[in-house]
Amino acid sequence: MRPFIQRTPGAGLPQLVRLLSSTRASANAPKYTSASAEELAHFNALASSWWNVDGPQRILHKMNLLRMDFIYSTVRKHLQLNKPETPLEEEIYVPPYSLDLLPKPIRLRIVEDQEMRRDALLNKSKLRVLDVGCGGGILSESMARLSFVESVLGIDLSSDVLEAAKLHKGKDPILGDEKLSYQLTAIEDLDASKKYDIVTMFEMLEHVDYPAKVLSEALKRVEVGGWVFISTINRDFVSWFTTIFMGEHMLRIVPVGTHTLEKYINQHEIREWIETNQDVRDSFKVVDAKGCVYLPAYGWKFTNSPDVGNYFMAIQRTL
């Protein structure tokens, strides 16, 4: 068992801060985003059972439901209802104060107008998505099926899981090559001039050796107004207890060896990293972060504390 107790909450921090702040120093270093051989061997071994929703990845499949809710509601909520070029008579009224102050019938009317506009805007959208560390493609496939997504590119460093992803894609005729494609590549090897509306990194940062490097490579590939969505795990007792001790060893709902505690990144560390890097701070904003927890008989559920256990984060490029 990992000597968790010996590790006081702050003990691992300097190392991670170092990792997170390594961005600048690494300008022309070799593949900083590459995964260790150990990590890749682990995921390669899981490839064949990736899509068995009752198999080793069931918990990831269940989590996918919640993260799709997170992505959908975030994108929908932050649609720009009135573009500068929108003619005045077509503008949707957005009161400059809380809607709750208005009488109910008026409030409902305004909400309904706004929702209809959101539907219309989404219907017209054709978003391009990059899924980094796509694994067997659980999230990539879901994103590709959304009506407002034009195309998804999934990348990973494990060739076996990508094979599983490609094989599974063939089981759904609506997932044509123009909608969904996969590529065995490190993120920094992707053409940085090609931008995406959404870049996702789910359950991935905790598996890489240089998370800050990966994150900054991701940010480079986002369109203005676009989004980076990540999910990972706080480095705390709850995480260790639920994901490693209970998840891997006691309940066996997660394959043993999936997680390494030292690699977990705290929610506030990401925020701090953004704040301390001026170029990042100027153009990116953490719009939302939500904790989530797995309840065995229920599934995944949002919590009010993004600082405990697993969390999702939405970062928007504003400039």
Partner 1 sequence: MFGAVRRLATAAASAQVSRLQDVVIVGGGPAGLSLLAALKSSHKTRHLKCTLVEGGSLDNIRTFGEDPPENYTNRVVSLTPQSVEFMQERIGSWQYINQDRIKFYSSIVAYDSQEKDARIQFDASMTDGNGVLAVMCENINIQSLLLSRIDEIGDSTILDNTKVLDIVHPNKPEINHDLTAEPQTTSPGLDWPIVQLSNGESIQTRLLVGADGYNSPVRKFSGIESRGWQYGRFGVVATIKLQYEDYRSIGWQRFLTTGPLAILPLTEDNATIVWSSTPELSDILLKVTPEIFVHLVNAAMTLDEVDLNYIYGVLKKDPTDTSVLEEIEWRMSKIKLSELEEKYPLPVSEVIDKSRARFPLKMSHADTYVAPRVALIGDAAHTIHPLAGQGLNMGQSDVAGLVEALEKGVERGMDIGSTLVLESYVSNTWPANSMLLGVCDKLHKIFSTDFYPLVLLRGIGMKSLNMLDVVKDLMVKSMAR
Ligand X SMILES: C[S@@+](CC[C@H](N)C(=O)[O-])C[C@H]1O[C@@H](n2cnc3c(N)ncnc32)[C@H](O)[C@@H]1O
Candidates 161, 219, 228, 314; binder of ligand X (CB under 6 A) is: 161
72 binds, among ligand X, partner 1, none (CB under 5 to 8 A by kind): partner 1
Tell me whether residue 156 is annotated as binding: yes
Amino acid in position 169: K
142 binding partner (options ligand X, partner 1, none; Cβ < 5 to 8 Å by kind): partner 1
Helices 13-20, 211-220: axis angle to 10 degrees equals: 30
**CA–CA gap between residue 207 and residue 214 (Å, rounded):** 11
Q: Let me know the angle formed at the C-alpha of 274 by 75 and 188, rounded to the nearest 5 degrees.
A: 80
Nearer to ligand X, 33 or 216 (CB): 33
211 is a site residue for ligand X (CB under 6 A):
no
| Interface region with ligand X, contact rule CB under 6 A, candidates 30-38, 103-111, 215-223, 277-285 | 30-38
Among the residue ranges 84-92, 127-135, 167-175, 246-254, the one whose residues contact ligand X (CB under 6 A): 127-135
- CB-based contact 65:300 (threshold 8 Å): yes
Element (H, E) at 48: none
| Comparison of 258 and 266: residue with beta carbon closer to ligand X | 258
Closer residue to ligand X, CB minimum distance, 203 or 269: 203
Contact partner, 153, from ligand X, partner 1, none, Cβ < 5-8 Å per class: none
- Beta bridge partners of residue 184, listed in sequence order: 156
**Residues in CB range of 26: below 8 A, 6 or more apart:** 32, 210, 213
Could you tell me which residues come within 8 angstroms of residue 34 by beta carbon, excluding any fewer than 6 positions away? 157, 186, 209
State the Cα–Cα distance between residues 201 and 217, nearest whole angstrom. Answer: 11
Identity of the amino acid at 178: E
Whether the Cβ atoms of residue 49 and residue 38 lie closer than 8 Å to each other: no
Q: 7, 78, 145, 271: which one contacts partner 1 (CB under 8 A)?
A: 145
Q: Is 202 flagged in the annotation as binding?
A: yes
Out of 141, 188, 197, 203, name the contact with ligand X by CB under 6 A: 203
Q: Is 261 in the site for partner 1 (CB under 8 A)?
A: no
Is 20 a binder of partner 1 (CB under 8 A)? no
The entry of ligand X, partner 1, none that residue 91 binds, CB within 5 to 8 Å by partner kind: none
* Closer residue to partner 1 (CB): 7 or 61: 61
Calculated CA dihedral for residues 45, 65, 76, 151, nearest 10 degrees:
40
Q: What Rg do the C-alpha atoms of the chain give, in angstroms?
A: 20
**One character per residue 104-143, x = contact with partner 1 (rule: CB under 8 A):** ---------------x---------------------xxx
Could you tell which of partner 1, ligand X, none binds residue 208, using a CB distance below 5 to 8 A set by kind? ligand X
Cα 277 to Cα 18, 31, 89, 224: the distances in Å are: 13, 21, 42, 18
165 in contact with ligand X (CB under 6 A): no
Measured CA to CA, the distance from residue 206 to residue 309 in angstroms comes to 12
Q: Is 156 in the site for ligand X (CB under 6 A)?
A: yes
End-to-end CA distance of the chain: 46
278 alpha-carbon distance from chain centroid: 23
Cα–Cα distance for residue pair 174/250, rounded to 1 Å: 39
The residue ranges that bind partner 1 (CB under 8 A) are 53-54, 61-62, 64-65, 68-69, 72, 119, 141-147, 149, 167, 170-173
Residues placed in the known binding site for S-adenosyl-L-methionine: 67, 133, 156, 202
The residue ranges that bind ligand X (CB under 6 A) are 33-35, 39-40, 43, 60, 132-135, 138-139, 156-158, 161, 186, 202-204, 207-208
Residues placed in the known binding site for Mg(2+): 203, 206-207
